[in-house]
A and B are shown apart, each in its own frame.
Chain A
């Protein structure tokens, strides 16, 4: 009897120290997270239904008026269209180039099961742009794309007597320049990612396929790609979300932050512009909500479309 009381007393004490430990370890991270992440996200949805411009203490509730106005906002839809274009082209461009190079690195050697000489060196160099801050990359390419004889790309054109290309000043070209920079920075990462995936494919599979007379192209499409499909899918979703979040490249690199004449603007730039330059906080939050639903919809569709039979090996 006395023994049992003692034990449950000890058990209670242990449970108490355990609970205290759990609470102690979680308190700071959860508090920080609630204040700086969860509460802003929650507030964004309610601010989106106000006409708040930062001056009044009590923002007026306007219901869905901001969203109605968004429907007629040409610039915003231009931005959505640009994001949509990048959403399709940036993953395709990046993944195709990265798969090509990863396959060359891992199966481009003398035999399909051997990598090329110096594969490690290429991976190190290709990956480097990933280590550069996006804002720095933007400034770098702003200089590379300069329209006059001081631009890296236009100097040789001018020297050859050709018309210089307005990489960032010609509305028909500017978005393609943005796309090029995005792909330039992303490719190395996926080369490394796919290389790691390809390295785990058993060499016997390649050798067996080679004995059966399969060429490089068939090897790639019949062996490598199916076995790599999960990784490609992850890459696609990751790049798609990155395409919806493009900001620094556009904001820093282009004239008028998304120009010329809105030719390169994206949703994130319009949100920032409306909030912190025009101080239309309610309207900008409504744009944020639209971006949120685009992101969620994209992730859902991407997961659904790319679900396939998983190949075991």
Chain B
């Protein structure tokens, strides 16, 4: 009671100060919006401009960069989809990233779980081995990685599936390079989970694997979701590794980033600029849609990822 009465004047002083500020700083809020809208425009305008250019004719693109198209030319999109193989590249990206992320999450959570919740000789060393991968620039490994994957290709039976110019090779490399962060993040997560439920399950005779898949994995769901998003985006955006591992001889296996970049860099004087804008729009559109739907989870996943 006494303390409540004591806090009354403070609260009053606060609301008075708030009122005073509101009067003084009203215009400031307006200026804030001004600044924020400028950056909003910086983000939105280039993207909208690209979408507009994707339905223009070549003449309209070169004649007046800012004009609206007279008639929307959707045949640019058709050409990009068919002739520039954007559909094919997109499908390849979906295949590689789904397999890559699924494999990363399965292997990563298994390793993280064992390293976080079991004490055994060498466990700490294995954990440090994984985490040390966070510190290395990937460019250092590029050359030997190319030869490792090439040598894999000469293995009997499975070679063609995991060598150069194969989905399998790319998927395994994606998984391996996603492991350091996944293991690091998830083992921290598994460590925080309560052990009582797992112990009860052990007493009831559940196996180690069963406790992991049916109890610990569901409990770790928030962490799993964050890191899955982190890995999906990371692998979807990958450009450097496919550039090294999928050569020009296997264009049918190229991923989206590689395909779009190639359309752009290979474009000469007689390039189909309208189709390039259409291809670019097609690459951006699904990201925009997915982002709009999952923006909350994506922001949470990526920021959780950065605070390693």
Contact = CB atoms under 8 A, between A and B. Distances in A.
Given A142-B264, A252-B261, A291 B13 contact: no
A36 B46 contact: no
A189 B306 contact: yes
A225 interface: no
Contacts of B168: none
Given A101-B35, A139-B264, A267-B139, A132 B65 contact: no
A281 B139 contact: no
A124 to B, nearest CB: 5
Interface in A40-62: 40-41, 43-44, 47
B50 to A, nearest CB: 6
B299 A110 contact: no
A26 to B, nearest CB: 6
Given A189-B302, A271-B139, A135 B257 contact: yes
Interface in A105-133: 105, 108-113, 116-118, 122-133
Contact of A192 (B120, B284, B303): B303
Contacts of A247: 139, 239-240
Contacts of B209: 21, 24-25
Tier of interface size on chain B: 35 or more
Contact of A125 (B44, B111, B145): B44
B175 interface: yes
A122 B239 contact: no
Interface in A272-313: 272, 275-276, 281, 284-285, 288-289, 291-292, 295-296, 299
Contacts of B179: 29, 32-33, 37
A128 B40 contact: no
Contacts of B193: none
Interface in B264-296: 264-265, 273, 276-277, 280, 283-284, 287-288, 290-292, 295
Interface of B: 13-14, 17-18, 21-22, 25-26, 28-29, 32-33, 35-36, 39-40, 42-47, 49-50, 53, 61-66, 107-108, 110-111, 113-115, 118, 120, 126, 129-130, 133, 135-149, 172-173, 175-177, 179-180, 183, 207-209, 212, 233, 236-240, 243-244, 256-258, 260-261, 263-265, 273, 276-277, 280, 283-284, 287-288, 290-292, 295, 298-299, 302-303, 306-307
Interface of A: 17-19, 21-22, 24-26, 28-30, 32-33, 35-41, 43-44, 47, 97, 100-101, 104-105, 108-113, 116-118, 122-136, 138-144, 146, 148-152, 154-156, 184, 187-189, 192-193, 196, 207, 210-211, 216, 231, 234-235, 238, 241, 244-245, 247-248, 251-252, 267-268, 271-272, 275-276, 281, 284-285, 288-289, 291-292, 295-296, 299
